[in-house]
């Protein structure tokens, strides 16, 4: 298929590369000309604007930082896309934004899906992302061959906006686990126990998780090169808290995690990986 891809950042670039490997024709655009050139170097086509990336595409994928960027780009996708275009927004944004985009798209004859992902940069590179999709069932099935090039788990979770609600749930769980792993490291070290050995045991038991599998050694070494930045997780926790308010439910642990992530950002760690929550827990114990 001819795929227009807008947003070639930490996640978008490897995702576009995997679509190329799957045999699709990918035309990419990003505000960074260097990222566009990197895609061209892999065999993709570079575009100088969103409109150029969208024109002639059978499918358009956006992978953007937040709701304002999607609200800026989506009208261009809808206006300049082909009739019956399949538009898959894989950004993590507010559920209400996804619902509004879907309504605008439907009015113009464009099929829109919200399909945020989990798995971080590693998952994007390896093509093992977990993808939660909101939208009409027939459109999800049309998107399945494309999404299966990007992830190993793809689930239709409900109507427009449902994918974003599931992603909010994902992010509150991820943030909570990072916070607890950080506390475990602080406890082990303060007690004179080797944290590497301790976390190795935890990873093999009921406390095991994907986060422990991938991040325990880098956390102990205090290596926080971003796979997913604190700044973005701060945004996502805001979405989770807002979703809880909209649903009329109390999520006290989510609120606490949101404050820890906000503290990490306030302490100047916004550009670090979200595992840098460890720095906040350490500071509380300094």
Q: Which residues pair with 26 in a beta bridge?
A: 3
Q: Among the options 45, 94, 167, 235, which is catalytic?
A: 167
Rounded CA Rg of the chain: 20
Tell me, yes or no, if 167 is annotated catalytic.
yes
User: How many angstroms separate the CA atoms of 141 and 138, rounded?
Assistant: 5
DSSP string across 152-173: EEEEEEESTTHHHHHHHHHHHH
User: How many angstroms separate the CA atoms of 282 and 286, rounded?
Assistant: 6
45 three-class SS: strand
C-alpha 137: how far from chain center: 22
Instruction: Say if residues 238 and 245 touch (Cβ distance below 8 Å).
Output: no
The CA-based angle 264-125-116, given to 5 degrees, is: 65
Q: Which residues are catalytic?
A: 167
């Amino acid at each position: 298929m001819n795929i227009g891809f807008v947003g070639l950042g930490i996640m978008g670039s490897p995702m576009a590369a995997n679509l190329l490997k799957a045999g699709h024709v990918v035309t990419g655009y990003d505000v960074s000309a260097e990222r566009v050139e990197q895609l061209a170097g892999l065999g993709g086509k570079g575009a100088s604007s969103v409109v150029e990336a969208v024109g002639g595409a059978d499918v358009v994928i956006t992978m953007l930082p937040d709701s304002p960027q999607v609200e800026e780009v989506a009208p261009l996708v809808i206006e300049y896309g082909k009739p019956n275009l399949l538009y898959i927004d894989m950004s993590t944004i507010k559920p209400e934004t996804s619902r509004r985009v879907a309504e605008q798209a439907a009015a113009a004859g464009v099929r829109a899906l919200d399909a945020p992902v989990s798995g971080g940069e590693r998952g994007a590179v390896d093509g093992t992302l977990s993808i939660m999709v909101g939208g009409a069932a027939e459109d999800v099935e049309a998107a399945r061959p494309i999404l299966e090039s990007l992830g190993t788990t793809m689930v239709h979770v409900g109507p427009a906006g449902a994918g974003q609600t599931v992603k909010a749930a994902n992010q509150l769980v991820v943030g909570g686990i990072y916070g607890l792993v950080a506390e475990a490291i602080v406890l082990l070290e303060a007690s004179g126990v080797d944290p590497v050995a301790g976390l190795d045991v935890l990873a093999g038991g009921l406390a095991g998780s994907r986060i422990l599998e991938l991040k325990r050694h880098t956390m102990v070494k205090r290596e926080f090169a971003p796979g997913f930045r604190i700044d973005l997780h701060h945004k996502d926790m805001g979405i989770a808290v807002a979703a809880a308010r909209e649903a009329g439910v109390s999520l006290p642990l989510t609120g606490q995690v949101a404050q820890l992530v906000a503290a990490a950002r306030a302490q100047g760690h916004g550009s670090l990986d979200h595992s840098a929550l460890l720095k906040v827990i350490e500071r509380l114990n300094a």
